[in-house]
Structure formats: structure tokens, C-alpha cells
Amino acid sequence: MISVGLIEDTENYSAAVASLLRLSDELHLAGIWKDAESALLKVPEILPDVILTDIQLPGMNGIECIRKLKLDCPSIQFMILTVFEEDEKIFEALNAGATGYLLKSAPPEMIFNAIKDIHNGGSPMSPGIARKIIRHFQPGVANDGHQLFTAREKQVLDLMAEGKLVKEIAAVLDVTIHAIKKHIKNIYLKMHVQNKVEAVIKWKFQS
């Protein structure tokens, strides 16, 4: 059986998902937590195979919870179950360690199949979420060489991927903060992204 944990503070939705899990002879409900802080205390002891978590939680959000748990429990597969469809939320969750992303509007059968899929090495996504991700990784309309990164821009991207801040990147490359900000602006334009999280994930994908 696949053991599943649920981090969800909306009682009605939590109860509905719990009922779905209990009805299956393939899934085992390992625990339910109403906030990330409670999950951080118990999950390392229980070590479910899969954890479903909302993004918006009281206190620490679900994305930060995944980031922390992934360090201590790398074997757990995390799937977002939320109402948020914004690109930034999607990429931030994937960057934190989530390998699945479903909207709460997903029917019970899709949630059930997604749990099995993620446990078997898949990356289940709601159709609209998958389309957003594919769009980000498709080449831009311009293909005349202007999207090529300079050597300095590649250095900046590598340091961004390491989690370094603008001032830290400037110190490593021995240039001004203003120069780094200009490089980052050019990088965003070439990659057709809006923020650091999207840029880093796209850079890792292309590497």
C-alpha cells in the first residue's frame, strides 16, 4: 500500500480527501496535519510515501514546508493540491521539491491516479498547469541568436542557481551590484521569464 500524508487546513476539503484515501485498498492515510509546523514534527517519524499539501496554510506555507522536509526526508514525493494557478507559485513549488501539482478542482479519480503516478516515478499535473510549464520551456518566437547568453550571463545564472543573492553574485564576480542587476534584466528578457525562480528552473532544464 502507498502511505499518504495530507497537509490541509480547510476542514471540508481535508475530510473529502481523507475519505477518498480511506476508501481505497491501495492507499493508506498515514496522517493529516492542519499546518506545516505540525507536519514538520511528525512526518520524519512516519515517513509517508507521498505527501499532499496545500500552498496556503496558517503560519509557514506549503512550499517552504516541502523545502524543509525534502532535506530530511528525500524519499518522500510531494504533490501540491491547491487553488493557485499563478506561474510563480508553480515554479516555486517545483523548485522546492514538489514533483506533482494538482488543482483542488481536480476530480477524485484524478487525485487517486495522481498519487499512484507520483509514487511510481511520474509527475502528475492538472492539464492547465502542465500547459503553463510547457509554454515556459518552449523556445521564444525570436530565434536569431539574440537569446544566446554571454559568458558573464552564464556565470550569473550559475550563481543564481546556487541560491546566491545579487550582492553575493557581485562579490564573487568582482563587479558592481548595478552591473549584476543589468545582467539579470537581460537574462529575464532572453528567457521570457518574470522572476528568479522561473529563470533558475529554466536554466537547470536547459543545462
pLDDT by residue (tens digit) across 52-91?
Answer: 999 999 999 999 999 999 999 999 999 999 999 887 888 8
Q: Which CATH number fits domain 151-206: 1.10.10.10, 3.40.50.2300, 1.10.287.110, 3.30.1600.10?
A: 1.10.10.10
Per-residue confidence at 142, pLDDT binned at 50, 70, 90?
very low
Report the C-alpha gap between 50 and 182 in whole angstroms: 41
Determine how many CB atoms are found less than 10 A away from the CB of residue 175: 15
Q: What residues contact 24, with CB distance under 8 A and at least 6 apart? A: 112
Report residue 160 as a C-alpha cell: 543564481
Q: Give backbone dihedrals phi and psi of 94, rounded to 5 degrees, phi first.
A: -65, -40
Q: Would you kindly state where each structural domain of the chain is located, as residue ranges?
A: 2-137, 151-206
pLDDT digit string, tens, across residues 24-46: 899 999 999 999 999 999 999 99
Q: Give backbone dihedrals phi and psi of 4, rounded to 5 degrees, phi first.
A: -130, 135
Report the C-alpha gap between 169 and 156 in whole angstroms: 7
pLDDT value of position 199: 81
Fold of 2-137: Rossmann fold (3.40.50)
Q: Which of residues 115 and 186 earns the better pLDDT score?
A: 115
Name residue 149's amino acid.
F
